[in-house]
Amino acid sequence: MPGTYSKLLYHIAFSTKGRVPMITPDVEPRLHEYLGGIVRTMNGVPIRIGGMPDHVHLLIRWRTDETLAALLRTVKARSSRWVHKTLPSLRTFAWQEGYGAFTVSQSQVTSVARYIATQAEHHRIRSFEEEYLELLRAHEIEFDVKYLWDSV
């Protein structure tokens, strides 16, 4: 087959370092737009970006010729630099070390996008930590809880 055809869809979640609530309502739309711009610059497609003051969710389409790890390394580094340069009051802003990445089938894109769009509703009843554990378990990812959270 001479061509490569793919549709790699990912739901990615990661938090601020120590889950400190630094993504305020005035910062959130600008940061989310910037995150989407980084994905686009790297030839990916941001489908939905959302989150809460202490974490973000990205629903993206990614390419076959670059690793997801390279994308997330770039997203975190560039967005951190942007926050520090653009918002001096957030000079201590940082992302956590790792991330959760979950594949999404085309039939679930609308559902995952709605989930991301309605984060405020979900977090009225559960924390990011509870949400993240639920995602890991739903995707049957093995983990040791002592390695899930970074220290401040």
> Taking 60 as the threshold, does the pLDDT of residue 152 lie above it?
no
Query: Any idea which of 1-15, 38-52, 121-135 has the lowest mean pLDDT?
Result: 121-135
Of the CATH numbers 3.30.1700.10, 3.40.630.30, 3.30.70.1290, 3.20.20.140, which one belongs to the domain with range 8-147? 3.30.70.1290
Alpha-carbon separation of residue 137 from 3, 68, 102, 108 (angstroms): 36, 21, 11, 18
Amino acid at 107: S
Query: Any idea which of 36-40, 92-96, 124-128, 148-152 has the lowest mean pLDDT?
Result: 148-152
Question: How far is the C-alpha of 55 from the C-alpha of 15, rounded, in Å?
Answer: 4
Q: How confident is the model at residue 34 (pLDDT cuts 50, 70, 90)?
A: very high
Q: Once rounded to an integer, what is the mean pLDDT over residues 53-76?
A: 97
Average pLDDT, the chain: 92
Domain definitions of the chain by residue range: 8-147
Per-residue pLDDT, 135: 86
The model's pTM is 0.90
Query: Which structure tokens are listed for 24?
Result: 């305020």
Amino acid at 143: F
